[in-house]
Amino acid sequence: MLRKTLMPLLFSLTASLAFAQTTRTVRLDTTDDVGIMGTYYPADRPHAPAVLLLHSILRDRSVWTDFATLLQHNGIAALAIDLRGHGESTRKLTAAGPVKINVRELTGGDYQDMLLDVEAAIDWLQTQPDIDKKHIALIGESFGANVALRYAAINEDLSAVAVFSPGLNYRGVRTDDVIRQLGQVPFHIFVSQNDDFAFKSSKRLVEIRQESGIDAATNELTVCTGSLQGTEMLKGVRSLPQIVLSWLKEALLGVPTPPSNAQPPAPSRDTTAPTK
């Protein structure tokens, strides 16, 4: 009798874990005919919020694997893409046939055109039947943070924006000229104190928002000691993934963030717990 009772429970648990661990490779086409490859991490719930994840220069979507899996297991779907010229997103169709995009040969115009990569990914997420298209967030690291901010400035449909180690200007992609346009959308910056350029840039971005009269700006910056950049912070500061997850749950699901005086787990490597 006990065995009969346990079998359905074990089957349900196994099926749930298997679903939560699945990923799907997707191919997207931009309006300028670049093929963008991505990995989709579906959430184990219907009508789920979603997050689009952008990597930095000379990296690829794999830098987000651990964090995307954490989101997936917490009811938030994730899509990590390779920006053009990176990873598997290296093919563009032209009148003369397909050509290969070499990351080492990208120009300033190519970096600006990465906004089209983001647009294709957001459009794809909004067509997925398991996604709540009214609750989609955008997150980027380093150069990808700048791309995220510029896209968010022209897309009012995003529900939240978070960036790791942004700069005032990376490869001609600026942020100081668009940061005011984010308005009151939930926004947060995560940066390391000894990552000099990103730290100074982050402080300036918050100052610009404060000067614009945005009330939330004083609570939009989390600083970690150490010098790790971008997604390396998620690996090097043990408490940071949960802090970011809590922020996203509040922004996308309305789940209150734990009190700021709660003691996070001890950090790893050369960093200490984040400070605000």
Structural contact between residues 252 and 71, judged by C-beta atoms closer than 8 angstroms? no
pLDDT bucket at 258, cuts 50 / 70 / 90:
low
Q: Average pLDDT in the 201-205 region?
A: 97
Residue 204 has pLDDT above 70, yes or no: yes
Q: Which of 49-53, 213-217, 261-265 is predicted with the least confidence, judged by mean pLDDT?
A: 261-265
Span 62-109, pLDDT tens digits? 999 999 999 999 999 999 999 999 999 999 999 999 999 999 999 999
CA atoms within 13 A on the CB side of 24: 15
- The class level of CATH for 23-253 reads alpha beta
Cα gap 245→137, rounded to integer Å: 12
Residue 276 has pLDDT above 70, yes or no: no
Q: Which region, left, alpha or beta, applies to residue 133 given φ > 0 means left and ψ of -120 to 50 means alpha?
A: alpha
More confident residue, 13 or 107: 107
Span 164-179, pLDDT tens digits? 999 999 999 999 999 9
